[in-house]
Amino acid sequence: MLKRKHHTERIVILALAGLFLLSGCTGTAPLTQAQPIENINKILVMPFKDLAAIYGHDGNIRCPLCGDVFAAGVVPDGVEGPLSEKLFNTMSEGFGYDLVAPEQVRESFPDLIAAEAKGRSDREMLLEIGRHLQVDAVLVGHLYRYQDRVGVAYSVDSPASVAFDVHLLQVSDGRIVWTGRFDETQRALSDNALKISTFLRGGGQWMTADQMAALGIEDVLKSFPKK
């Protein structure tokens, strides 16, 4: 009887240990501080590029740099400017890099921005501009979807939905050394309680696309390496 009792206790202990192990495996891994990127001091922040205007707002769009696929959607005219400014201003706050603003690209290289017009790849165009401006890297963003809510802050027929990515392209060898991705459609808390932090950051209301995109910029840059 004593031997059987010890055997039973051993089984219970092993089962509990396995339960705790499984519980640990299903938890969210803690965020780690991104490592500094060597040999990058001066960064050109490119204006966001509206890929929905080029490939259409129905179906999917593949990123021309990394190959990731996003669900396309409407991107209103003029949103690229404020979003590019938000990216530049956020990057200016404590990251430690020497930055070149998007306006300098618009003023100096209006023809080069439209890479597809000359049969040149996006990567080739970005590297050429980076070499002209003598920067170490180019930070480029693509817009895939920027759909505003239909309704008001406390009630919507259709919520805001935003998708974009941001890549840091090293000029010396053309490698992508960092990528940030944002692809969100606001959900009601009753649909997805896990998104409560996003809902509360929006003031507990249904966000506009502008509000969602601004939070998205802050979120993706949390993993950007500081100097």
Q: Nearest to residue 220, comparing CAs of 164, 182, 189, 168? A: 182
* 16-38: pLDDT as tens digits: 332 222 222 222 223 334 556 77
Domains identified in the chain and CATH numbers = 37-223 (3.40.50.10610)
Can you list the residues of the chain whose pLDDT is less than 50? 1-33, 193-194
Q: Nearest to residue 167, comparing CAs of 181, 151, 148? A: 181
Q: How much is the pLDDT for 32?
A: 36
- Average pLDDT of the chain is 79
* 180-219: pLDDT as tens digits: 999 998 876 555 544 556 556 666 678 899 999 999 999 9
User: What pTM, to 2 d.p., does this model score?
Assistant: 0.77
The kind and range of the H/E element at 50 are: strand 49-50
Number of H helices, E strands in the chain: 8, 10
φ/ψ of 166, rounded to 5, equals -140, 130
